[in-house]
């Protein structure tokens, strides 16, 4: 039977959260029984990532209920040899979102739901999905209700759902727009049915309330800020057409702890034209509670982050991600974080029906697969999180040092996150890469400032490029040109007595270069910083590669007192 819906989750046979096999079997049993009850053709795909040595794989320890007619189930194994190619694999045994991409890429259904192994769906939600009337241009979301874990593994779905509705611990609904949500939910955080309250609710211009095929939904506007999107616990329920997942190339393959990556997938879909449609209760999913610190809960938040920090595992933070979020919102399209081979598409991975007693031989897989060169993740290198995250850590230290210096009044307090509102001055880069700059552009730039200043210019860049710049400019200016490395070695400090020029060749390194060269130290008013962006790509590719780093650099430099000019150069010669 061709599945209408593919449900994708990822796990491994470890002890994550305390007895994950028990919770996973409840998830499988309940969903399969509901598929039969409502005649929903579906498949369940479980990705067994980096199987635990000396333990059986998931395919042999989990099973479908007997006589499941509408739900099939298979396990896709990603062997340890592939896992070990990924950064941080020595500290993080499970890359959840990269694993989900493996299942999403191989799904057969018209629609694909990315979820987790400890989720139960309300009967009303499954009945709605079974109508097979989902709109392929929408991305569907529901609220998550957390429930107690005291559920028997072999109980019927009716028993499990009855217990779930009666044992709600906490709720995870849209984090903002409470002035809209509270009346809709009858001021009940664990509302079982919103419909009685909907007729009494005033319309809002911030979000639309729509009845679609008998189901009430909240639909943010296409250009809504991320704060109006339902990102809360979205890793447990994000449903998108197969076409939509392909259009955004799955979740970004960030080689990091999975926190916030699920929200990035949601944001990418919404701003790419697959707009959010959040079903209201009674269409909900339930999350079976697990051990503190094994996943995000308010009570276990500190334990979780302490564990991540102790292992020195990177976690994507919103101050970094917001830069990309705002770019997608502005352009109304997803950033193509991943290559076309996302989801390990180039690898023929072992697949088994759930309940199979045949174990996967990792050695046989390795010998039959192509040679593994580099990480199997598909993230474009320009979106590597390390350099961006390192920048924010250094920025905090720089601001703290600046505030304790005599120049402290010139430095504003560091924001809790990078400002995301657009600024016409900062965002007018549309024509920056549409023409080539030659040496006349460089001459003109410094000739324009001759009448007003004789400040020396400190130039950072490769030694060969500095030599060329000095030979080019010296005959035309009395201003001294000083190599950046020599300037730092002399112990001098940048101030209003110097201008600066940075020859930038790599967007991934530009922000780090600002730190390495101490260009984010406070500068007196009037000093000018010129950043010459150098590259050989076509203008459209240049714009796409450089824009996030350019915006960020200009904001930071302006905040510490530089007058900033951004120019591009296709060639210095």
How far is it, in rounded angstroms, from Cα 143 to Cα 175?
Answer: 11
3 state SS of 473: helix
**pLDDT at residue 260 above 50?**
yes
Bridge partners, 241 (sequence order): 111
**pLDDT at residue 561 above 70?**
yes
pLDDT band of 438, cuts 50, 70, 90: very low
How does DSSP assign 419-461, residue by residue? --S--HHHH--TTTTSS---HHHHHHHHHTTTTT----EEEES
H or E stretch at 128: helix 123-130
Number of residues that make up the chain: 573
How far is it, in rounded angstroms, from Cα 39 to Cα 69?
Answer: 9
How far are the Cα atoms of 224, 277, 430, 541 from residue 537, in angstroms, in the given order?
33, 39, 16, 6
| pLDDT, position 497 | 80
| pLDDT, position 572 | 38
Mean pLDDT in residue range 78-99 = 93
H or E stretch at 554: helix 539-559
| pLDDT, position 534 | 67
> What values do phi and psi take at 334, rounded to 5?
-75, 145
| pLDDT, position 259 | 84
* Residue 122: burial class (beta carbons within 10 Å; 0-12, 13-18, 19+): buried
**pLDDT at residue 548 above 50?**
yes
Structure tokens belonging to residue 182:
């509270």
| pLDDT, position 504 | 82
3 state SS of 1: coil
**pLDDT at residue 431 above 70?**
no
H or E stretch at 103: helix 96-105
How far is it, in rounded angstroms, from Cα 86 to Cα 90?
Answer: 9
**Tell me: the pLDDT tens digits for 404-414?**
554 444 333 33
307 or 117, higher pLDDT: 117
**Tell me: the pLDDT tens digits for 315-328?**
778 878 988 999 99
Sheet bearing 351-353, strands edge to edge: 207-212, 215-220, 275-279, 138-141, 238-241, 111-114, 5-11, 42-49, 71-78, 351-353
| pLDDT, position 109 | 98
| pLDDT, position 327 | 92
CA dihedral of 91, 93, 98, 102, whole degrees rounded to 10: 160
pLDDT band of 573, cuts 50, 70, 90: very low
**pLDDT at residue 54 above 50?**
yes
Mean pLDDT in residue range 354-369 = 67
| pLDDT, position 165 | 97
16 or 221, higher pLDDT: 221
How far are the Cα atoms of 28, 408, 509 from residue 160, in angstroms, in the given order?
12, 60, 52
129 or 306, higher pLDDT: 129
User: Of 132-141, 194-203, 335-344, where does mean pLDDT reach its minimum?
Assistant: 194-203
3 state SS of 483: strand
**Tell me: the pLDDT tens digits for 170-207?**
999 998 898 899 999 999 989 999 999 987 777 788 99
pLDDT band of 353, cuts 50, 70, 90: very high
How far is it, in rounded angstroms, from Cα 139 to Cα 154?
Answer: 32
Q: How far is CA 254 from the centre of its chain?
A: 7
| pLDDT, position 491 | 78
What domains are there in the chain, each with its CATH number? 5-331 (3.90.550.10), 384-569 (3.40.50)
Mean pLDDT in residue range 27-35 = 98
DSSP 153: T
**pLDDT at residue 370 above 70?**
no
Sign of CA dihedral 556, 410, 461, 431: positive
| pLDDT, position 490 | 84
Per DSSP bridges, beta strands 5-11 and 42-49 are parallel
**pLDDT at residue 565 above 60?**
yes
**pLDDT at residue 143 above 90?**
yes
pLDDT band of 447, cuts 50, 70, 90: low
pLDDT band of 166, cuts 50, 70, 90: very high
CA dihedral of 374, 379, 380, 381, whole degrees rounded to 10: -60
* Gyration radius from the chain CA atoms: 27
Say if residues 503 and 474 touch (Cβ distance below 8 Å): no
Bridge partners, 351 (sequence order): 76
Residue 51's contacts (CB-CB under 8 Å, 6 or more residues apart) are 12, 13, 57, 58, 77, 79, 80, 360, 362
**Tell me: the pLDDT tens digits for 475-508?**
777 788 899 888 888 877 777 788 888 888 777 6
How does the average pLDDT of the chain come out, rounded? 82
Bridge partners, 139 (sequence order): 276
User: Of 155-164, 379-388, 509-518, 538-547, where does mean pLDDT reach its minimum?
Assistant: 538-547
H or E stretch at 372: none
Q: What percent of the chain has pLDDT over 90?
A: 50
How far is it, in rounded angstroms, from Cα 46 to Cα 6?
Answer: 10
Give the residue ranges of DSSP H helices in 448-538: 463-473, 484-489, 507-516
């Amino acid at each position: 039977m061709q599945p209408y819906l593919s449900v994708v989750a990822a796990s491994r046979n470890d002890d994550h959260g305390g007895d994950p096999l028990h919770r996973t079997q409840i998830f499988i049993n309940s969903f399969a029984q509901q598929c039969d009850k409502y005649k929903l053709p579906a498949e369940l795909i479980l990705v067994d990532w980096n199987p635990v040595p000396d333990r059986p794989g998931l395919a042999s320890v989990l099973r479908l209920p007997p006589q499941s007619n509408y739900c099939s189930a298979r396990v896709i194994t990603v062997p340890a040899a592939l896992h070990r190619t990924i950064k941080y694999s020595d500290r993080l045994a499970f890359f959840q979102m990269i694993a989900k991409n493996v299942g999403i890429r191989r799904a057969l259904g018209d629609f694909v739901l990315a979820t987790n192994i400890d989720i139960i769906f309300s009967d009303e939600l499954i009945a709605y999905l079974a109508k097979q009337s989902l709109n392929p241009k929408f991305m569907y979301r529901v609220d998550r209700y957390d429930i107690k874990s005291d559920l028997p593994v072999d109980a019927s779905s009716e028993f499990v759902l009855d217990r779930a509705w009666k044992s709600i611990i906490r709720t995870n609904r849209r984090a903002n727009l409470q002035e809209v949500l509270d009346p809709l939910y009858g001021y009940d955080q664990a509302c079982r049915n919103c419909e009685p309250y909907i007729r009494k609710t005033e319309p809002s211009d911030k979000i639309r309330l729509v009845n679609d095929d008998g189901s009430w939904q909240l639909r943010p506007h296409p250009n809504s800020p991320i704060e109006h999107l339902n990102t809360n616990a979205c890793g447990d329920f994000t449903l998108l057409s197969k076409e939509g997942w392909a259009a955004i190339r799955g979740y970004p393959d960030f080689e990091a702890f999975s926190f916030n990556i699920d929200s990035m997938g949601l944001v990418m879909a919404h701003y790419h034209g697959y707009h959010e449609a959040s079903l209201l209760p009674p269409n909900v999913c339930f999350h079976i509670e697990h051990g503190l610190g094994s996943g995000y809960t308010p009570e276990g938040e500190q334990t979780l982050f302490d564990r991540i920090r102790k292992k020195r595992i990177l976690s994507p933070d919103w101050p970094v991600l917001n830069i990309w979020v705002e770019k997608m919102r502005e352009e109304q399209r997803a950033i193509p974080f991943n290559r076309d081979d996302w989801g390990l598409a180039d690898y023929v991975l072992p697949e088994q029906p759930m309940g199979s007693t045949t174990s996967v031989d990792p050695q046989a897989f390795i010998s039959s697969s192509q040679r593994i060169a580099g990480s199997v993740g598909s993230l474009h290198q320009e979106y590597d999180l390390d350099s961006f995250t390192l920048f924010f850590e250094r920025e905090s230290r720089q601001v703290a040092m600046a505030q304790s210096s005599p120049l402290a009044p010139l430095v504003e307090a560091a924001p809790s996150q990078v400002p995301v509102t657009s600024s016409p001055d900062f965002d007018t880069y549309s024509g920056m890469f549409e023409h080539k700059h030659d040496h006349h552009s460089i001459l003109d730039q410094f000739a324009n400032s001759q009448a007003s200043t004789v400040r020396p210019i400190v130039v950072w860049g490769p030694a060969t490029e500095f030599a060329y710049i000095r030979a080019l400019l010296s005959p035309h200016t009395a201003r001294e040109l000083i190599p950046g490395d020599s300037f730092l070695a002399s112990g001098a400090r940048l101030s209003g007595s110097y201008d600066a020029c940075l020859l930038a060749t790599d967007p991934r390194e530009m922000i780090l270069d600002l730190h390495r060269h101490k260009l984010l130290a406070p500068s007196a008013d009037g000093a000018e910083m010129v950043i010459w962006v150098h590259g050989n790509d076509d203008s459209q590719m240049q714009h796409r590669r450089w824009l996030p780093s350019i915006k960020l650099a200009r904001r930071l430099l302006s905040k510490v007192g530089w007058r900033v000019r951004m120019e591009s150069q296709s060639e210095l010669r």
